[in-house]
Each structure stands twice: as structure tokens, then as C-alpha cells.
Amino acid sequence: MKIGVLGAGQLGRMLALAGLPLEMQFSFYDTSGAPSVGIGNVFIDQGGTGKDLDSFLADVDIVTSEFEHIPLDLARKIESRKMLLPSSESTRVCQNRGEEKRLFTKLGIPTPKYHLVDSLAAFESAVEQLGCPVVAKTVTDGYDGKGQAVIRDPADVASAWNRIGNTQLIVEKFVNFSRELSIIAVRSKSGQLAFYPLTENTHHEGILRYSVAPAPRISPELDKQAQCYIGELLEALNHVGILTLELFETEQGLLANEMAPRVHNSGHWSIEGANCSQFENHLRAIADLPLGDCQAQQPTCMINIISEKGDIQGLLRLPYAHIHLYGKDERKGRKLGHVTVQADSYKELTWRIRNVAAHLPGSPEYHPTENR
């Protein structure tokens, strides 16, 4: 099967690496002007004008996406000519935080209280009604902490509005959560479902740094609740492929934060840590092949490599470190790769995570859940 991928970054790269053993071939359609995939055929259309689209579509049997921030008109144009999975509807909803929240509410999935605002006056009113602190985010485009601000004093609203520089924001009540979790699920064309275990995520300066799977201290009830929420989303969107739901764990239960209609950074652990990675399962789903086993083999952690590659030779000397580099130049805040480690216990895993982090400049100290 010839797979077309919208986007040409590290997620597309890992999709291709997972699909090559299944005799799949890959072409990529890049709208950023800076592809880093380093594999397969790459068609560059900076800005999404449709340049070389005919050549790209002639080269593929089916199209998927590694990035949701693609021009919606382009996705729909492609969908009119080739099967696009997941569909443009998943892309449309996940491109807009307001649409996401409306869908969560419609399905009865708890989410933080929020207001949509399109002016400074509306912003000030939302902060007054919700009460500080609040989190303000762009309705579209923002990720990895970009286009966001935490407002702790109403006097800071005007400066935050100017700093974010967007015409529409979503303003959310700040959540007192014990930890951030994510669940990744996959749905095939024929409707088969499979769930990866809940993953515990640690962010630093808005960027994911550590993902541990399975998340420690997860009750069967909490796991079932997360699976129920993401299962409802998959069915409501008629979504085919991987879907990721980011969650806050609170004293009252789980609150949905955001979702992503694609393979996700918090699922990279599955390459070494599960019998079937999120990348292979995404490809199985869109090709309507039987889905693979999602269970974690043992406690596993993914450590992101951010800004600087650090001491790669030192990492290579660690017998338990699996290194994935993305072929990108160093730049502040940029994801350059990741390292996966596994262990027989969470205590041993913590020791190994800290050993890896010592070789990566700027990595925040890792603290296990029980010590937070």
C-alpha cells in the first residue's frame, strides 16, 4: 500500500519507519517549507496552495496526517479525490479549541469551565466571571505552550491580550490537578477499538519532557473512565486511526483538556514499550488490518530531547537507553529526538530516567508521582 502523509516532520518519519516492515511505501506533502522527515518522497507546498498536489495524490492509495494544523480547504480537497483518514471532520474539530470544548460538553465529558472571547472587553469579563487564576489560549494554532498565558491578576489581562496577539481566545478556569495524563486509542475502518494504557506526562515551560507508561497508581475505575471518554470521541467523530486525549487528574476525577487526531508525543514510549507501537497501529487502522497489542510490556519512559542534543555518546553507553534522533538542527524549544528507557520497577525506572536526563542539557529534574 502507498501511504500519503500530510506533513513531513518526525511523526511522519516514525510512521514510515513503522510501515516499511509491512511493505508500505510513503510520500509526504509538506506545507511548512521545512520538511525534516528524511525518508520517502517529499512534495513541498509552502502555505498549502495546492502546488504539486496532483503529483502527490497520483503517488498514493490513501492519505493520512501527522499534523492537524493543515489548511482545512486543502484537507477537504484531498478528501474529494482520495480516502483521507482520519477525515477532515476530525481535523476541523481539533483545529479549534472552541469546537473541541463544545464536543466534550455535548458528549458529557467533563472539562474546565471556559469562555470564548473575541475582544479585550470580553476577555476582562471572562476573567471576572471565572475568577483568577485562568489560562488563556489561542483558539487555533497554539501548541507546546505557544499562544498561551496564565492570568493570576485581572490587571494583567490587557498585556496578555496584546502578547498573545490573537483575535479569538479561549479562557479557562485554572485547574488544581494532581497530574497530567493522556490516553491514546485507535479505531480501524471496520470499527475495531484498542486502548493504550494511561500515560503520566510531565511538562516544563509548556513542552512535554517525560511520559511514563503505564501511569503509576491508576485505579481500574479511572482507566475505565478514560477509555469511555475517548471511545465516545472516536465514535462521535467516526475517527479512523490514532486519537489522543489529554486529561487532568483531580480530586473529582478526570477533566478533558485537549485532543489530537494523530500519533502523539506522549505515545512515543510505545515504540519499544508495547508489542505494537502507536505508529504501526495507526497504519493498521487506516489500512483496515487487525489492530496490534497496546499493553505496556513493563514500566517505560519517554524523555524528550529539547533544544540541544547533548551528550549522545554518553547516552549510547547506557545499555538501557534507546535513542531516536529526528534529523533536525538545534534550536531553542525544538524537539530534536527522544530517548526511551524501560525497567522492571518504577523505582529502577526513576534511576534510569535521571541518568539519561543528566546527559541532556536543560532537562528538568524528574520527580516520581509519589514525591510530587
Does 244 score more than 70 pLDDT? yes
Task: Give yes or no: residues 11 and 42 share one domain.
Answer: yes
Residue written as grid cell 471572562: 126
Task: Give yes or no: residues 305 and 194 share one domain.
Answer: yes
Q: Please, what's the b/e burial string for 141-165 (b: 16 or more CB within 10 A of its CB; e: otherwise)?
A: ebbbeebbbebeeeebbeebbeebe
Q: Which CATH number is 213's domain given?
A: 3.30.470.20
Those residues whose C-beta lies under 8 Å from the C-beta of residue 317, and which sit 6 or more positions away, are none
Does 6 score more than 60 pLDDT? yes
- Within a domain: 162: yes
Domain that holds residue 151: 113-173
H helix or E strand, kind and range, residue 18: helix 10-19
Task: Give yes or no: residues 203 and 163 share one domain.
Answer: no
Does 371 score more than 60 pLDDT? no
Q: Which CATH number is 168's domain given?
A: 3.30.1490.20
Q: What is the mean pLDDT of residues 307-328?
A: 97
Q: Which of 143, 173, 203 is the last residue of a domain?
A: 173
> How does strand 199-204 pair with strand 179-187?
antiparallel
Task: Give yes or no: residues 229 and 134 share one domain.
Answer: no
**What is the per-residue pLDDT for 226?**
98
Going by pLDDT thresholds of 50, 70 and 90, the confidence category of residue 370 is: low
Locate 254 and state its grid cell: 478526570
**What is the per-residue pLDDT for 33?**
87
**What is the per-residue pLDDT for 190?**
95
Phi, psi of 200 (to 5 degrees): -95, 130
Locate 179 and state its grid cell: 497530574
- Within a domain: 184: yes
Does 143 score more than 80 pLDDT? no
Q: What is the mean pLDDT of residues 254-283?
A: 97
For the stretch 27-69, pLDDT in tens is 999 998 889 999 999 999 887 777 899 999 999 999 999 998 8
Using CB atoms within 10 A of its CB, is residue 3 exposed (0-12), middle (13-18) or buried (19+)? buried
Q: What is the mean pLDDT of residues 76-102?
A: 96
Phi, psi of 154 (to 5 degrees): -55, -25
Q: What is the number of domains present in the chain?
A: 3
Q: What is the mean pLDDT of residues 110-122?
A: 94
Task: Give yes or no: residues 118 and 42 share one domain.
Answer: no
Give all strands of the β-sheet with 2-6 in edge-to-edge order.
Answer: 41-44, 25-30, 2-6, 62-65, 83-84
Task: Give yes or no: residues 72 and 44 share one domain.
Answer: yes
Q: What is the mean pLDDT of residues 232-241?
A: 98
Q: What is the mean pLDDT of residues 81-97?
A: 96
Going by pLDDT thresholds of 50, 70 and 90, the confidence category of residue 140 is: confident
Task: Give yes or no: residues 188 and 332 share one domain.
Answer: yes
- Within a domain: 328: yes
pTM of the predicted structure, to 2 decimals: 0.94
**What is the per-residue pLDDT for 263?**
98
Task: Give yes or no: residues 242 and 184 share one domain.
Answer: yes
The answer to whether the bond into 133 is cis (omega within 30° of 0) is yes
Task: Give yes or no: residues 53 and 201 share one domain.
Answer: no
- Within a domain: 248: yes
Task: Give yes or no: residues 143 and 213 share one domain.
Answer: no
Residue written as grid cell 482520495: 82
Q: Is 43 helix (H, G, I), strand (E, B) or coil?
A: strand
Going by pLDDT thresholds of 50, 70 and 90, the confidence category of residue 369 is: confident
Going by pLDDT thresholds of 50, 70 and 90, the confidence category of residue 372 is: very low
The DSSP line for 145-157 is TTTEEEESSGGGH
For the stretch 168-192, pLDDT in tens is 899 999 999 999 999 999 999 999 9
CA distance 192 to 290: 8
Does 285 score more than 90 pLDDT? yes
Cβ–Cβ under 8 Å, residues 184 and 278: yes
Q: What is the mean pLDDT of residues 59-84?
A: 94
Task: Give yes or no: residues 354 and 214 share one domain.
Answer: yes
For the stretch 203-222, pLDDT in tens is 998 899 999 999 999 999 99
